[in-house]
Amino acid sequence: MNQNISVERYDKMLYRRCGKSGIKLPAISLGLWHNFGHVNVFENSKNLIYTAFNNGITHFDLANNYGPPPGSAEEVFGKILQENFKSYRDEMIISSKAGYTMWDGPYGDWGSKKYLVSSLDQSLKRMKLDYVDIFYHHRPDPETPLEETMAALSLMVQQGKALYVGISNYQAEDAAKAIKILKDNGTPCLIHQPKYSMFERWVESGLLDVLENNGVGCIPFSPLAQGLLTDKYLHGIPADSRVATSGVFLKESNITPEKIEIIGKLNEVAKSRGQKLAHMALSWILKDNRITTVLIGASKPEQITDSIKALDNIIFSETEIKLIDEILG
């Protein structure tokens, strides 16, 4: 693969302002949840970063536990960054998170200040960075006071270890509380990362309104519902699919005849729009101007360039929106 940096890398990407901040993010961001751990081929991981960056994707989304094994995605990304992109650091938005189990004992999980501060220190060492651009609390902690968790995020900005902070997986009510605390602390919440797709629409019941009213950006993950919203499963389960090979995140029991029928109908709508189903699933999320960027994963470079084609058509007619809602029931 040609690993030169393209001088035209910013020409075709769409950039959107993140809430009311000064930051713009590419409409498509690359998540490094899979395919960047020690179990993956290093050259392929490097090619994925080159392909993304050369196509205007400036935002790379990580977390302390991404791998496998946990921590290895940050190590691999840090190595690629140091060896190939060191002079381009200021053109990148690099994010990490903490909130899920990372190490043994009572201080390696959830939302205490002890855990979050320690975790970010470890992440910076793994990536060989002085700071991350965005640091998220990865999930709400029912036992730690929200004030403590948000104070930890504010502290990281004050220490210069993160430029901005965000939250992930917070429901509307808790998100509103967290956003207010951060604002009162003088470190406004930049962005929220929820799960959102045609098949998972809980964010429409209040969360998007909270984000809009508070000037906070939104970056949905799992926009393709772990591959369900592609043409991959139209004719059953392929042998090389994630379901067949791992079944960890998408289980065979999720792929019912009813679900396949719905996917087939959505595929027909996509065809009528001149799109593949995966393109339509991404553009359907991006049609809402409250969405800043949508997070994709990739195992091959061509999947990244293919996903970017979703930006060719992000306008939906009222008829199309109504038809999609009817299909989804």
Residues 137 and 169 sit within 8 Å (Cβ to Cβ) = no
Rounded mean pLDDT, 246-261: 76
Q: Tell me the pLDDT tens digit for each residue of 152-207.
A: 999 999 999 999 999 999 999 999 999 999 999 999 999 999 999 999 999 999 99
Looking at residue 249, its pLDDT comes to 63
Q: Which H/E stretch holds residue 197?
A: none
Phi-psi region of 206 (alpha: psi -120 to 50; beta: other; left: phi over 0): left
Q: Tell me the pLDDT tens digit for each residue of 211-234.
A: 999 999 999 999 999 999 999 888
Rounded mean pLDDT, 111-131: 98
Question: Is residue 245 over pLDDT 70?
Answer: no
Pairing of strands 15-17, 24-26: antiparallel
∠ at Cα 185 (179, 188), nearest 5°? 45
Looking at residue 247, its pLDDT comes to 53
Taking CA atoms, 255 is separated from 34, 234, 247, 267, 323, in Å, by: 21, 10, 11, 16, 22
Q: Tell me the pLDDT tens digit for each residue of 15-24.
A: 999 999 999 9
Looking at residue 250, its pLDDT comes to 73
Question: Is residue 2 over pLDDT 80?
Answer: no
The domain covering 15-229+280-312 belongs, at the CATH homologous superfamily level, to NADP-dependent oxidoreductase domain (3.20.20.100)
Query: Domain locations in the chain?
Result: 15-229+280-312
| Cα atoms found within 13 Å of the Cα of residue 218, Cβ hemisphere only | 29
E-strand ranges in 54-210 read 59-61, 93-98, 132-137, 162-168, 189-193
Q: What is the pTM of this model?
A: 0.95
E-strand ranges in the chain read 15-17, 24-26, 28-31, 59-61, 93-98, 132-137, 162-168, 189-193, 217-218, 294-296
Strand partners, 164: 134
Rounded mean pLDDT, 73-87: 98
∠ at Cα 249 (244, 255), nearest 5°? 60
Q: Tell me the pLDDT tens digit for each residue of 122-164.
A: 999 999 999 999 999 999 999 999 999 999 999 999 999 999 9
User: Considering the chain, what is the average pLDDT of its residues?
Assistant: 95
